[in-house]
Amino acid sequence: MYKTSSFFILFALLLCSCGTSPEIVLKVSNLSDQSRPDATLLLSRGEILRWIDIPSDLLPVLKDQKDEFVPCQLDDIDGDGKWDELFGLTDLDPSGQINITIAFVTRDNYPSFPIRTNLHLGDAKDGYQELTEADRLEGVSYHNYSDLTGAAFQMEGPAWENDRVGFRNYMDQRNGMDIFGKTTTEMVLRGVGIEGAPSYHEPGEWGMDVLKVGTSLGAGAVGYMYHDSIYRVGDNGSGRYEVEFQGSQRSRFKLTYADWKVDELSLDVTHHVEIVAGRHYYQGTVSYQGTNETLQLVPGIVNMKSDQLHVLKLNDQYTALFTHDTQSEDGSLLAMALVVPITYLASSGETRDEGEGITQTYYAALEAPPGEPVPYRFYALWEKEDPKWASLKEVSEYLKTEAERWTQSVVYANRQ
């Protein structure tokens, strides 16, 4: 299992009792000389239970030094109907230190926060009713997808967004990933791609679909390398979409593929996709079962409008493979990046431009033992969202900062 190894935020614990409700005070220290907006606060139920008994009729929340609620949410990770993780976001100054309190409130009094992440799969046959689960269309190829998939699903499949960027997946055997460039921080995808709305292929008030995917892997879609050939996950067999959890600060869904045939193999693949507020990426985590052989996971970037792949070692743990070109559909500058753990990275490469299967794709090949979840992040940086993304230097420095954020994690020092 992949693990990070260095640390960025230090938590020091103090326990107190305020009336009948216990509280936990966390001293949060930024050990870096760089500011950290939307720093992640992540605490499991098990961690909290090691410090204090959780009242059976109350739920944990986060508060700052002014006794105001910190944007947070409770997530049920394993689907058993009980929360497993307390997740929040806060801003930290360079080398700064703040106190964060875990307090407890009733379910009815749990605070609401501005919505900064969103998942949406609309049923195009039933008034775009939102679906939390759905089966993928089978037998839909590149020759008939526009009629069949578009008639079944809004935007042709599930879409996800935060206050920076949006993405979508084609809910058929193309199984590509696409990008919605955004010029607003509002959640907009529920109203995109519905009858009577402007085409999302043209610039609109909120942004636009900035990418042409074709037969590539698009914006981080995945395949597997087997016997020196790359096979697109889900180009046969059955597939399914399921929401795992959805919240104001982060959301996650999974795509599952059953009885996927790769030569003589029959595999089951699980692809978790998570998006967090304030960031320009989604994180994919992919695993497979059905063989004892170690395959290579292959996430990709379409290179239809770019002829140079930049490969940059970001730090000792992560490497970025990225393009930076006038590759948005409106002719503006767009950077796309795969950030992958060096411990898994076996090679990088480029597919052929024409022919059957996956084409026009730069890719990373990641060693993927059977049953082991392998993570990667896909970034989309569009100059219409922020003009600084027109600079290759700005993109490179940003990715280095992002690698440090991914590397540096959280520790707890108990000061009872």
In this structure, the chain runs to a length of: 416
Is the pLDDT at 384 greater than 80? The verdict is yes
Lowest mean pLDDT among 6-15, 37-46, 49-58, 168-177: 6-15
| pLDDT at residue number 2 | 42
Is the pLDDT at 70 greater than 80? The verdict is yes
The predicted model gives 314-333 an average pLDDT of 98
**Residue 218 backbone class (left: φ over 0; alpha: ψ -120 to 50; beta: rest):** left
Residues carrying CATH 2.60.40.1180, the chain: 6-111+407-414
Adjacent-strand bridge partners of 311: 321
What's the Cα-to-Cα distance from 115 to each of 40, 108, 209, rounded to whole Å? Answer: 16, 19, 22
**Chain segment 85-119, per-residue pLDDT in tens:** 999 999 989 888 899 999 999 999 999 999 999 99
What's the DSSP call for residue 218? B
Amino acid at 90: T
Lowest mean pLDDT among 35-49, 204-218, 247-261: 35-49
Amino acid at 183: T
| pLDDT confidence band for 22 (50 / 70 / 90) | confident
Residues carrying CATH 2.70.98, the chain: 117-385
- In the three-class reduction of DSSP (H, G, I as helix; E, B as strand; rest coil), residue 10 is classed as strand
Distance of CA 143 to the CA centre of its chain: 29
CA–CA separation, 251 and 273 (whole Å)? 8
| pLDDT at residue number 141 | 65
Judge if pTM exceeds 0.85: yes
**Chain segment 343-357, per-residue pLDDT in tens:** 999 999 999 999 999
The predicted model gives 179-193 an average pLDDT of 98
CA–CA separation, 366 and 224 (whole Å)? 9
| pLDDT at residue number 230 | 98
The answer to whether the CB of 337 falls within 8 A of the CB of 321 is yes
The predicted model gives 183-201 an average pLDDT of 97
Half-sphere exposure of 153 (CA within 13 A, CB side): 23
**Chain segment 77-86, per-residue pLDDT in tens:** 999 999 999 9
Percent of the chain surpassing pLDDT 70: 92
CATH of 117-385, one of 1.10.287, 2.70.98, 1.10.3470, 1.25.10: 2.70.98
Q: Which two tokens stand for residue 99?
A: 């106190």
| pLDDT at residue number 414 | 39
Q: Scan for tokens 């749990």, then name that residue.
A: 110
Is the pLDDT at 195 greater than 90? The verdict is yes
Provide the CATH number for the domain formed by 6-111+407-414 in this structure.
Answer: 2.60.40.1180
Is the pLDDT at 13 greater than 90? The verdict is no
Is the pLDDT at 374 greater than 60? The verdict is yes
